[in-house]
């Protein structure tokens, strides 16, 4: 069993390593404290940024003020704990300048996992939130706020259904433009936001490109009972895949790898008859019932993790007649 003070120390030490890894874009260091979808998203970000001359200044150092930690009880593995906190900006590196950004003190939700006692704790899910007090968790301590998580969710509440429900809602919104139980603020927040699939679809159509995006729940749902006791905080990852094809017979997509848009570095400049982008979208949601209307998204973190293309007959220099793309805005 890991104590509250130990959890706090693990978070602090991990943030120190995180700042060092971000400074040098060190994949080997990143892999020493991240796993799961967190590692997949951040690894791609490192690859995207590797050729930027200003790469050591791209991710300013930051810390996390821990507001609440909660661990699963028991001595068996795999072990897990969750930390809720607020980020704060630290002094920029020598030679770098730092702006506060749109949300300098964003909340963060960190899920740490440890499969065996022989390996270190790693962050596997890390969605951002508006602030660390977006949700509070219920513990089994005398006052209900102890460091050991309440073992069971409210009776009759199955948080495992939330990922498929959110995936279906996003799919329907992309195709129809109807939000359903989603909210417009899910796509427009300053501290966190889900990439807008409908806006991307419409923009691709204007570029003479047909886009189809699919979402599927990744294995594993992390759920903790909230302080109210009538709902759970559910954290899960959706894998997404976007397939792009040119509109028009014989056309190709002219893809431009542009340093000003780092994600484009995942695919070389060229003409393509088909492009497939894959990525991960981490979701933090409060689930209060069995229906999709009972899921309220309070945080997210995501990104494209790979881009592949099938070469076409022409490229940017040849004018393929299809769209000219820089990237999908994910």
Give the pLDDT confidence of 107-132 residue by residue, as tens digits. Answer: 999 999 999 999 999 999 999 999 88
d(CA 328, CA 330): 6
C-alpha count within 13 angstroms, C-beta hemisphere, residue 304: 24
Cβ pair 1, 73 in contact under 8 A: yes
Strand duo 270-287 + 222-225: pairing: unpaired
> Residue 10 contacts by C-beta under 8 Å, 6 or more apart in sequence?
2, 112, 121
How many other C-beta atoms are found inside a 10 Å radius of the C-beta of residue 155?
5
How many other C-beta atoms are found inside a 10 Å radius of the C-beta of residue 289?
15
pLDDT at residue 326 in the model: 45
pTM of the model as a whole: 0.91
pLDDT band per the 50, 70, 90 thresholds, residue 146: low
For residues 147-166, give the mean pLDDT: 81
How many other C-beta atoms are found inside a 10 Å radius of the C-beta of residue 88?
12
| Sign of the CA dihedral running 61, 66, 72, 73 | positive
More confident residue, 191 or 318: 191
pLDDT at residue 147 in the model: 75
Instruction: Report the range of poorest mean pLDDT among 18-27, 68-77, 144-153, 285-294.
Output: 144-153
d(CA 179, CA 166): 11
pLDDT at residue 159 in the model: 84
For residues 163-187, give the mean pLDDT: 96
pLDDT band per the 50, 70, 90 thresholds, residue 186: very high
Domain coordinates in residue numbering, the chain: 4-325
Q: What is the pLDDT of residues 59-100, one digit of tens each?
A: 889 999 999 999 887 778 889 999 999 999 999 888 888 777
Q: For residue 101, give the 3-state DSSP assignment.
A: coil
pLDDT at residue 163 in the model: 95
Is the pLDDT at 330 greater than 60? The verdict is no
pLDDT band per the 50, 70, 90 thresholds, residue 201: very high
């Amino acid at each position: 069993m890991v104590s509250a003070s130990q959890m706090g120390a693990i978070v602090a030490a991990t943030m120190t390593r995180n700042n060092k890894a971000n400074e040098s874009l060190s994949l080997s260091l990143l892999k020493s404290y991240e796993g799961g979808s967190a590692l997949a998203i951040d690894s791609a970000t490192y690859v995207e940024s590797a050729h930027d001359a200003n790469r050591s200044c791209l991710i300013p150092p930051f810390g996390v003020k821990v507001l609440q930690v909660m661990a699963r009880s028991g001595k068996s593995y795999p072990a897990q704990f969750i930390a809720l906190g607020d980020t704060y900006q630290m002094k920029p590196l020598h030679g770098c300048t730092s702006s506060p950004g749109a949300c300098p003190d964003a909340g963060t939700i960190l899920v740490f996992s440890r499969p065996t006692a022989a390996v270190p704790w790693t962050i596997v899910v890390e969605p951002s939130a508006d602030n660390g007090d977006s949700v509070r968790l219920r513990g089994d301590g005398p006052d209900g706020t102890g460091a050991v998580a309440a073992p069971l969710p409210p009776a009759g509440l199955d948080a495992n259904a939330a990922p498929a429900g959110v995936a279906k809602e996003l799919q329907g919104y992309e195709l129809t433009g109807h939000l359903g139980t989603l909210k417009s603020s899910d796509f427009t927040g300053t501290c966190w936001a889900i990439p807008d699939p409908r806006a991307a679809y419409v923009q691709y159509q204007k570029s003479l490109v047909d886009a189809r995006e699919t979402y599927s729940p990744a294995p594993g749902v992390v759920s903790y009972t909230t302080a109210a006791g009538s709902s759970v905080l559910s954290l899960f990852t959706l894998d997404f895949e976007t397939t792009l094809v040119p509109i028009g017979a014989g056309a190709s997509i002219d893809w431009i790898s542009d340093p000003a848009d780092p994600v484009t570095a995942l695919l070389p400049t060229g003409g393509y008859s088909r492009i497939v982008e894959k990525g991960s979208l981490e979701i933090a949601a409060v689930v209060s019932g069995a229906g999709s209307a009972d899921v309220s998204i309070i945080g997210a973190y995501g990104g494209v993790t790979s881009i592949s293309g099938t070469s076409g007959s022409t490229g940017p220099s040849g004018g393929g007649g299809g769209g000219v793309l820089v990237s999908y805005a994910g």
